[in-house]
Amino acid sequence: MPDASPRPKPFTAPASSAALEDLRARLRATRWPDAPEDAGWGLGTDLGYLRELVEYWADGFDWQAQESALARFPRFRVPVGGLGIHYVHARAVAPTGSTVLPLVLSHGWPDSFWRYSKVLPLLTDPGAHGADPADAFDVVVPDMPGYGYSDRPTGPPLDSIAVAGLWAELMGLLGYARFGAAGGDIGSHVSRYLALDHPDRVVAVHRTDAGVPVFTGDPTDLAPEERAWFESVAAWGASEGAYAAMHRTKPQTAAFGLTDSPAGLAAWIVEKMWAWSACGGVVERAFTKDEILTNVTLYWLTGTIGSSMRMYGANGAIAPAQLGRRVEVPSGFSLFPGDIVRPPRAWLERTANVARVTEPERGGHFAAFEEPELYAEELRAFFRPYRAPSLG
């Protein structure tokens, strides 16, 4: 019988001149709020910085150049679970006879496949970047449903468990019986469920965080450093978690303004790029204006800010029993110094079969983009023992 599997189709998405002109017109017509004198970033996005960024977005930023740079990656769309999924599928450049490990990378919010655009060449062709050619990966980077160029669910939003199931199906469609998984932010959650629900296929899982902690046992069973971490996470949520509460509870309200105003969209996203990166209070120490605006423009052109936020509510409804499951697949963690809610080793050991924990010297929440060389080396070192001839 003929193979009925869906066929991936090469994907490009050039923006129309009308869409770009509409964007520029909206930027030039921005109605600005006031701000207290010397507020800086203390109340949210800095007014002076955003004015500067919006001016550049309207009259200096070259989206077509950024679009061409992203188009150098082999990008595809394929139906998975009833949704069109956009993904990058970059093949390894490896010595003859070496074992290539397939790797699926999962992004978080507020980004898309963009998160891994700097690190992809370092993972697929390490030999060209001063590393061991035998450490090459076949890399798959999907946009989650409701993000980037993947379809938006028309019904209830999908949670991380459901997305993990889609990624397992996608990797099968691409011919990978076994593979590694890695991610951060929501992508850490998805990678965790890939390991939990598909342990026969995931050889190892690497994460840059352990998510927001949930513990339903006796608090006295927690180690002192775990209790201290829980307290720090609660304090972080009280001072920094308003965005997540909005995403979980009333994302549609925020979506009206953020979908209509590119300046508002930039404010919502850039504040997190500032707060969560290791930029030392100066966002452009971590990202150039072109890099920031490439991420934000992807959201603008795809109209996905609302659908991306809705995933928070779906994840917030995951049952505690699911959140409490322990990952038995070999697990590695790279805890970058500028990231948020960094877990102690005791919590990692409680929740996963820990094979490796490192604390790289630089980088924050967007480590794959902020420090691609360090992140690539973390993945190469962690997955090296899990390469085997049967993985392709």
pLDDT per position as a tens digit, 102-120: 999 999 999 999 999 999 9
Q: Is the peptide bond before 156 cis (omega within 30 degrees of 0)?
A: no
Q: Return d(Cα 136, Cα 376) in angstroms, integer.
A: 10
Give the pLDDT of residue 254: 97
Q: What are the residue numbers of the active site?
A: 185, 312, 365
Is residue 4 in a domain?
Answer: no
User: Closest Cα partner for 99 from 54, 136, 57?
Assistant: 136
At 132-176, the pLDDT tens digits run 999 999 999 999 999 999 999 999 999 999 999 999 999 999 999
| Tally of domains in the chain | 1
Q: Is residue 206 domain-resident?
A: yes
Short-list 44, 26, 3, 21, CA closest to 270? 44
Residue 5 domain-assigned (yes or no): no
Please report the pLDDT score of residue 135 as a whole number.
96
Report in angstroms the alpha-carbon separations of 220 from 224, 234, 272, 346: 9, 18, 34, 14
191-241 pLDDT tens trace:
999 999 999 999 999 999 999 888 988 989 999 999 999 999 999 999 999
Q: Would 8 be classed as within a structural domain?
A: no
Q: Is residue 299 domain-resident?
A: yes
294 inside domain: yes
Within the chain, which residues score under 70 in pLDDT?
1-3, 389-392
Single pTM value for the model: 0.96
Domain that holds residue 180: 14-391
**Residue 147 pLDDT:** 98
pLDDT for 5 equals 82
pLDDT of residue 3: 59
Asked if residue 190 lies in contact with residue 167, where contact means CB atoms within 8 angstroms, the answer is: yes
Tell me the two tokens of residue 124.
């697929």
Find tokens 């030039």 and name the residue: 28
Let me know if residue 9 belongs to a domain: no
Question: What's the farthest any 2 CA atoms get from each other in the chain?
Answer: 72
In a domain, 358, yes or no: yes
